[in-house]
Amino acid sequence: MSDLGVAVVIEDDDDLRNLLQAVLLQAGFEVHSASDGREGVEVVRSTQANVVTLDIGLPDIDGFEVLRRLRQFSTAYVMMLTGRTEEPDLLTALHFGADDYITKPFSPREVRARIGAMMRRPRHHAPTQEPPVPPSAQSTTPNRMDASVLQHNGLYLNSRSRTAAVAGETLELTRSEFDLLHDLLRAAGAVRSRTELVRVVRGDYYSEDTYISDSDQRAVEVHIGNLRRKLREDPESPRWLLTVRGVGYRLAPERAERRDGRS
């Protein structure tokens, strides 16, 4: 296996599949490929891929269904490739757990830059590697003794192990969801604009002068919606994530907690 690990290209167009294989090989991956969705799922499973490029339009099952199946067993970074520019398609991809998407036509340089930005951000690790928070931690305020541990209203997040939990129950978050939650916790109640959160999700590929589209901002809204669902937020009385209309998001105020970690 190469230093960067394994990449799988799931693409039915021969020319595009060959191009992506060449780009990923030059980047330093061990590369495997598949020309349809069902084969792609099995290749990802057998190779334990680190990165997957996934076309939405496949001849057997579409990319959304492939992604749904992948997320049942794989935490690989998934970048969707699509010739469709309709916003619902992009948002559906993010809802099913894609980390990024890129529309055709695209340049090899852009593919390498986007994948490189993803790889520089740590993957979500299994919760058994390190507990989300030290057992002795009881305070609802951020733990100043360990900067990697953040706490708020019974939510515990450990940036070293990239784990998060509520009332002892580990949250299964995608890379983008974890990064957004981490950023909002670090902001400690300050408002984070959608533009700022797009850059959190996209990483250093999006510099300060990079144009941020409406679709980019809508993607952040989808990630926040997924976070709320996984946190089981009460829409009438949110414990963690508040929408600041027309601007972005911030943490809800702190609450007094019961001993079981709930408020």
Specify the CATH number for the domain of residue 241: 1.10.10.10
| Same domain for 161 and 109 | no
CATH number, domain with residue 50: 3.40.50.2300
Query: Across the strands, what pairs with 8?
Result: 32, 52
Question: Domain for residue 171, yes or no?
Answer: yes
pLDDT of residue 12: 94
Given a contact cutoff of 8 angstroms between Cβ atoms, the answer to whether 8 and 40 are in contact is yes
pLDDT of residue 133: 45
pLDDT of residue 41: 97
Question: Domain for residue 188, yes or no?
Answer: yes
Mean pLDDT of successive 10-residue stretches along the chain, which has 263 residues: 84 94 93 97 96 94 94 91 71 80 85 81 47 40 60 93 90 88 94 91 64 78 90 93 94 72 51
Nearest to 119 by CA among 27, 239, 210, 9: 27
Peptide bond into 88 cis (omega under 30): no
Residue 227, both tokens: 């976070």
| Same domain for 107 and 11 | yes
| Same domain for 168 and 105 | no
**Residue partners of 44: CB distance under 8 A and separation at least 6:** 8, 10, 52, 70, 74, 76
What is the Cα–Cα distance from 11 to 157, expressed in whole angstroms?
Answer: 36
Given a contact cutoff of 8 angstroms between Cβ atoms, the answer to whether 203 and 116 are in contact is no
| Same domain for 167 and 65 | no
**Residue partners of 245: CB distance under 8 A and separation at least 6:** none
Residue 238, both tokens: 């949110």
| Same domain for 153 and 111 | no
pLDDT per residue as tens digits for the range 146-179: 578 999 999 999 988 889 999 889 998 888 889 9
Question: Domain for residue 102, yes or no?
Answer: yes
Question: Domain for residue 126, yes or no?
Answer: no
The domain tally of the chain equals: 2
pLDDT of residue 121: 63
| Same domain for 242 and 175 | yes
Residue 81, both tokens: 């490739």
| Same domain for 103 and 19 | yes
pLDDT of residue 250: 96
- Domain residues for 45? 6-119
Q: Integer distance in angstroms from the first to the last C-alpha of the chain?
A: 47
Strands (E), 133-240: 149-152, 155-158, 163-166, 169-170, 192-193
pLDDT per residue as tens digits for the range 172-210: 888 888 999 999 999 999 999 998 998 888 765 555 666
Rg over CA atoms, the chain: 19
| Same domain for 87 and 157 | no
| Same domain for 174 and 102 | no
Identity at 170, one-letter amino acid code: T
| Same domain for 162 and 84 | no
SS3 84: coil
Residue 118, both tokens: 């993803």
Question: Domain for residue 136, yes or no?
Answer: no
pLDDT of residue 126: 40
Which residue among 71, 101, 119 closes a domain?
119
| Same domain for 98 and 41 | yes
pLDDT of residue 22: 95
pLDDT of residue 142: 40
